[in-house]
A and B are shown apart, each in its own frame.
Chain A
Amino acid sequence: MKSAVIVFPASNCDRDAQNALKQLTGKDPHMVWHGETDLPDVDLVVLPGGFSYGDYLRCGAMASQSNIVRAVKAHAERGGAVLGICNGFQVLTEMHLLPGALMRNADLKFVCRPVTMTVEETQSAFSRKYQSGQTVSFPVAHGDGNYFADDETLKRLEGENRVVFRYVEGDNPNGSANDIAGILNEKRNVLGLMPHPERVVDPLLGGTDGVAMFQGLIESLG
Chain B
Amino acid sequence: MKARVFVTLKNGVLDPQGKAIGHALNGLGFGSVGEVRAGKVIDLELAETDEAKARENVKAMCEKLLANTVIEKYEIELKA
Residues of chain A having any CB pair with chain B under 8 Å: 57-58, 61, 65, 93-94, 99-101, 103-108, 146, 148-150, 175
Contacts and interface: CB of A to CB of B under 8 A. Distances in A.
A104 B38 CA distance: 12
B76 interface: no
Given A57-B65, A61-B65, A149-B70, A105 B13 contact: no
Contacts of A107: 16
Interface residues of B, number: 10
B54 interface: no
A150 B71 CA distance: 9
B17 interface: yes
Interface string B32-45: 00000000000000
Contacts of B65: 57, 61, 65
Contact of A61 (B14, B20, B68): B68
Interface in B41-80: 65-66, 68, 70-71
A108 B13 CA distance: 15
Contact of B70 (A108, A146, A148): A148
Interface string B1-18: 000000000000110110
Contact of A101 (B14, B16, B66, B71): B71
Contacts of B17: 104, 108
A57 B16 contact: no
A106 B16 contact: yes
Contacts of A58: 68
A192 to B, nearest CB: 14
Nearest to A62: B65
Contact of A57 (B14, B20, B66, B70): B66
